[in-house]
Structure 1
Amino acid sequence: MSTIRDEWGENSSLGRLWATLTALAGERGRAVSVEFVCAVAAERFGTEAACLIVTGPKGVAELHSSIGELGHRIPELEVTVGEGPIRDSLELGSPVLSTDLDAEAALRRWPVFAPLAAEAGARACFAFPLAVGVVRAGVLVLLHGTPLSPGPASLREALVFADLVLAMLMGEQVARSGPVPGPVGDEFPIVGPEVHQATGMVAAQLDTDLETAFARLRARAFADGRRLSEVAADVVARRLRFEPDPDLR
């Protein structure tokens, strides 16, 4: 990725950050990967966890990488309840900053997600979109277990980290000659292969479409107070079977 430093110049924000990360990676015996950049972003921002959400060609969001338990748990929770700062940042194409998910403002904005996120151990969530114009490639998310109020300098630096991650992702896509992500769609399934498989099985069990099956899977996870991946694993292992709702017949 040496072209990043060449393209933006050593004196630009991206160029300086790239030089700093290159030196830091050398000290730690690491490569400057997207995962490494996300981890350092969390360190610099003072958060204990992070995750990177990327959108595919059809605007479907997926978890690219995560740092810390919260980095995996919180995106999955958003999928389960259907609301949260990551979704908002993807849809709006702008940063969504919550310094305390247990505060009144957060509870009003995300009445289902916020209290569950706080219960799961996340009190602060900062979502920075990876976007250029209508191209929305994803969101860089920084998470912390206690309320956190970053200053303007930290926020500016986080935006530069997001720009760098976007540049690296787009560079990877160009190298693979793949399509550049388009505008994000209505779907927001940050799920793994097991959840996809379980959705297909539930659709067959209920004789319904995949969208309805996925909604039933999410509803069961929410009602049971369990992780979506755990419910999906039970379906795939045939420990859990969905039956048609007699009230809908």
Structure 2
Amino acid sequence: MKNLFDLTGKRALITGSAQGIGYLLARGLGEYGAEIIVNDITQERADEAVAKLRALDINASGCGFNVTASAEIVAAIDDIESRIGPIDILINNAGIQRRYPFVEFPESEWDKVIDVNQKSVFLVSQQVAKRMMARRNGKIINICSMQSELGRETITPYAASKGAVKMLTRGMCVELAAYNIQVNGIAPGYFATDMTKALVENKEFSDWLFKRTPAARWGNPEELIGAAVFLSTPASDFVNGHIIFVDGGMLAAV
């Protein structure tokens, strides 16, 4: 029982983890003992993140591949499992955002959002899950969003993709649970990051957010680590098909 949150000896692949929340989760799991495999679309960016993790005494390797390209994914997962070792934990974090009014949204931009945010979760999980099934063990964590449940203007395809990831999480749970694979999601609320800096500095928006969120503040990105560690460790071995909203109570409030 003392080792419920220990990740020593576990290997975690985190997509889109060269920067942002993905890198933060890589660092967090690494600090709890996991060996980290950093993914980005280029090997160079993955290796840069690996160097930063190793400077923190975290065991890490980089693997550059496009999470929307089936052939690249198959080759990358084969390489990881044969060269580095079995993947015990998969975090599907890669994602993009595009903003246009709904009636003006370009089809090409819609396709990009759906491919990266939704299709990649299916493609990468499919390849990793096959191997987890054979070992009858594994953890898959999908990064969802407040938009898995709530809409917001100018980001309709993002909401559509994250709503789909929520249901993909549940569908995967139903099919994989019998193989001792737990599939869950984390849905971040509004966090103060480089990506949201303009909104953080916008007093009108921050005032609205504080009124809308029971915790009455922006989230600190490091507050996502706990949920990721919990869902990656034996502490969550009977938790399956859930979405944990790390949102300061926003979804609970009217």
Q: Scaled by the length of structure 1, what TM-score is found?
A: 0.26
Higher relative contact order (CA 8 A, sep 6+): 1
> Whose radius of gyration is greater, 1 or 2?
1
